[in-house]
Structure 1
Amino acid sequence: MDGSRGYGHGRIPWGLSDGINDAGLSVAQAYGGRSETAEGFGLTTILRYVLETCDSVDAALAVLQRVPSHMAYNVVLADAGGQTASVELAPGVGATIMPRAIATNHQNMGRAADRPGSTRTLERLAHLKRLRISPSRLGVHFLEKPLRQDRYDQGFGTLFTAEYSPKTQLLLLSMAGEQWYQRLDAFRERQHIADYSGAQRKVVYDDDAVDWATGVDWSRAAGMDWTRLAMDYAAGSGQWIGAYNPGASSRQCMVPCQQS
C-alpha cells in the first residue's frame, strides 16, 4: 500500500478485497448478487484507495458516496473508534447506507439477486441477524455453517475467513483448517498452500446456478480460469464471463468491459 501502512487480501492486479490500515480502519466486501454493470471503478481498486487515504468510517463513507462502483457490491466498515457501517453499492445508482453493519450476497435495493438459492444469501443474512454475541466471538461462527460454505464442487465454497481488530490491528486468518495471527506492527511473511480438493470435482447442473441475465452456468465456476479472466479484464480485453468456463466457446463481452 502506498499511502497509510496496512495489509489485506490482494486481487489481480492491484486491488484489495478486504484489509486494515494503521489508523485501524478495516473494510470487507461481498458480491451484491447482480451481474449488471455501469460506468465506474472496480471495487477492489476503490477499497485500496479507501485504506490508503481514509482513517475513519466517516471518511470512508464519503469516498464510497463519491466514487462509483461498476458492479453491485456490499461493503462493511469498522474503525478504531468503534464506528461501523454497511453500504450497498449499485451500478448507476450509488451508495446506500444500511441500518446494520452486516452483509451477504444480495441487496435490498433494485433487482433481486441472480441466484439466491445457490449462494444461500438470505439464509446466511437471517442467521447473522439472529446472533446475539460479542464481537470477539463473532469470528467463530464464520467457521461453521450456514456462514461457512463447502460446496467447492459446485463452485461455491469458503476460501478464507479474515477477522480484523481495528483497535489492535490484529488479523486472524483461517484457511482450510489452518489459522494465522498477524499484527501490522510485527508482520511475519509466510506461505501456505490451501487444499480444497476434499470434495470430488464433478459438474453439477443446477437451474438456480444459471444466471439467466448473462447465460453463465455458475455451477461450473470451480473449473473457471479465474487468472486468465482477471488478466484479460485488467488489459481491457475481457470476454463474456461464460467463455472462461471449461469447454465454453468464446464470444464478445455483452456488457461494457473496462480496465480499472
Structure 2
Amino acid sequence: NTTAAAVAMLRDIPVHMSYSIAVIDRQGNYATVYVNPDRPAEVVERRVSTNHQHGVEWAWHAETTKSVEREAAVEKLLLASASIKDVLSGFQRPPAYQIQYGHDCGTLYTAVYRPLDASVELVWPGSLWRQSCADFQDEVRTIRFNDGGSGGLAPTFKEGAVSS
C-alpha cells in the first residue's frame, strides 16, 4: 500500500519492453520507475513521463509520438497550474493529447488518480468515467475514435452502450 512497496515489487517483475511506471500512495509519496528487459529497474523522482526515459533512444518513435514535446508541455503545465481542472484541460489539447490514431499514436484516455479515496477518473474529451475501490461498478465502455480532420483538436468519438 506504499510507494516503497510498489517499487520493490516492480524491481522483481520481468518485462518484455521498456515502460515508465508512475506510482503514488495515500501519503503523497511518488516515484517513476523505469523498467526494461535488459537492465535493472531504476527509480527516478519525476512527476512526468512520456515515451522515453532518460533520453531519446529511438528517434523515429520519439518524433512520431511527440514524446519530447509532450514531456515539455506537461512539465510546463504542472509548473503553471495549481488546479486539477487547468491541468486536465491541458492534457486534452495537443501536444499532450495525440490524435494520430491511424499511426498508432493516439491518446486513449487521460487518467486522474485520486489515492486519498482510492478512485480514478478516466477522461475523454466530453466524457468522464469515475471508478472507486469503495464503490466499484462493473461496467464496460466502448469508445470509437476517428482519426484526422479535427484541426489539431481532440477527435470526435462515439461512446458505446454502458452495460452493468
Task: Provide TM-score, normalisation by structure 2.
Answer: 0.77
TM-superposed deviation, 1:190 = 2.9
1:65 aligns with 2:11: yes
> Does the Cα contact within 8 Å between 2:70 and 2:96 map onto a contact in 1?
yes
1:66 and 1:175 map into 2 onto residues whose CA distance is 33
The answer to whether the 8 A contact 2:73-2:95 is kept is yes
In structure 2, do the counterparts of structure 1 residues 67 and 113 end up closer, same or farther at CA, with 3 Å as the change threshold? farther
- Match for 2:62 among 105, 110, 116? 116
Q: Report the CA distance between 1:108 and its aligned residue.
A: 1.2
Aligned ranges for residues 97-116 of structure 1 at < 5 Å? 97-108=43-54, 111-116=57-62
Report the equivalent of 2:103. 154
Q: CA deviation at 1:174?
A: 1.7
SS of residue paired to 1:162: strand
Q: Please, which runs of 5 or more residues in structure 1 have no aligned partner?
A: 1-54, 201-260
Rounded to whole Å, the distance in 2 between the matches of 1:123 and 1:109 is: 13
The equivalent of 2:159 in structure 1 is none
TM-score by length of 1: 0.51
Partner SS for 2:41: strand
Deviation at 1:109, TM superposition (A): 6.2
Matches within 5 A, 1:124-139: 124-131=70-77, 132=79, 133-134=81-82, 136-137=84-85, 138-139=87-88
- Structure 2 runs not aligned, ≥5 long: 150-164
Structure 1 residue 198 displacement after superposition = 5.3
Across the aligned residues of Structure 1 and Structure 2, the Cα RMSD in angstroms comes to: 2.2
Letter in 1 for 2:3: V
Describe the superposition over 1:191-245 as per-residue Cα deviations: whole angstroms up to 9, x where unpaired: 3321213547xxxxxxxxxxxxxxxxxxxxxxxxxxxxxxxxxxxxxxxxxxxxx
Larger Rg: 1
| Cα shift readout 1:19-42 (whole Å, capped 9, x = no counterpart) | xxxxxxxxxxxxxxxxxxxxxxxx
Structure 2 residue matching 1:141: 3-state secondary structure: helix
- In structure 2, the residue matched to 1:52 is none
Alpha-carbon distance in 2 for matches of 1:170, 1:92:
34
Contact 2:56 2:62 in 1 (8 A): no
- Look up the match of 1:167: 116
1:122-153 Cα shifts (integer Å, max 9, x gaps): 00111122222237343332212111111122
Query: How many residues of Structure 1 are paired with residues of Structure 2 in the alignment?
Result: 146
Classify the secondary structure of the residue corresponding to 1:74.
strand
**Counterparts of 1:103 and 1:110, CA distance in 2:** 12
Give the equivalent residue in structure 2 for 1:44.
Answer: none
Aligned partner of residue 102 in structure 1, secondary structure: coil
Q: Partner of 1:18 in structure 2?
A: none
- Tell me which residue corresponds to 2:161: none
Query: Residues of 1 paired with 2:70 and 2:147: CA distance?
Result: 23
